[in-house]
Structure 1
């Protein structure tokens, strides 16, 4: 997966940082760190949702995919990651399924999109499927 990520729009609630370094944390390639800002002080944890939320298949709006340079046939160039909020232990760690990060794995362009009209929660308990 690409390591330099550029958010086309700032992330809600964070500094104006738009350029991040994506670093794999675990051996399985499921957990990543996104570190950005001029001094690298903005840090998020993101995961590939499949192993934790098998039923999670968000529908990404066409305008978001167009902005990322992703067409209908570009499924292999698209990665969907979800932001994780660490808890005091694994039982209190949650993932934001309502607003995933969509990434063009070839260019590094990214957007956090809000899934309108879906049942996905902002704080889904993180449990292996």
Structure 2
């Protein structure tokens, strides 16, 4: 499969703008370290829908801060393998919402994004997973701003 879209689609929207419209997201595999959590809601935390939280529906205290990586890393273009695309039921790259998990620091300058293991969401089926990419150039702690 090719890389997810980085910009607006033909109808003028982008995968990033879909975030507020997704119902319950079902992880096909739990996030590493959280085996009991598979059902999440994607909650918009800012007006622009850039900063979101993946909030566990089984434990309201568990949430992951996420952003669409293209908002901060326009050149980021992970290649998703066919097995993962098939598992999520993805047939078109345009149907993938790509998210990076953040590690919040005391300030924005200290906040990092996990580009090595993005979260992929099929916007039609709401099936998702976190994928660890095989790319030594990517990091789990990439500074969000330079």
* TM-score calculated relative to the size of structure 2: 0.81
Corresponding position: 1:38 with 2:55: no
Q: 1:66 aligns with which of 86, 97, 115?
A: 86
Cα separation, 2, equivalents of 1:26 and 1:62: 33
Which structure features the higher share of helix residues?
Answer: 2
Q: Which structure 1 residue ranges, 4+ long, deviate > 3 Å from structure 2?
A: none
Task: Please say which of residues 38-47 and 97-106 is displaced more in the overlay.
Answer: 38-47
Root-mean-square deviation over aligned CA pairs:
1.3
Q: SS in structure 2 opposite 1:63? A: helix
CA distance in 2 between counterparts of 1:104 and 1:91 reads: 31
Q: Does 1:56 align with 2:76?
A: yes
User: Does the CA contact (< 8 Å) of 2:41 and 2:57 recur in 1?
Assistant: no
- The CA deviation at 1:11 is 0.4
Task: Give the one of 88, 112, 120 matched to 2:106.
Answer: 88
Corresponding residue for residue 100 of structure 1: 118
Instruction: Extract unaligned runs of 5+ from structure 2.
Output: 1-17
User: Normalising by structure 1, what TM-score?
Assistant: 0.91
Q: CA deviation at 1:37?
A: 4.6
> How far apart in 2 are the matches of 1:38 and 1:88?
28
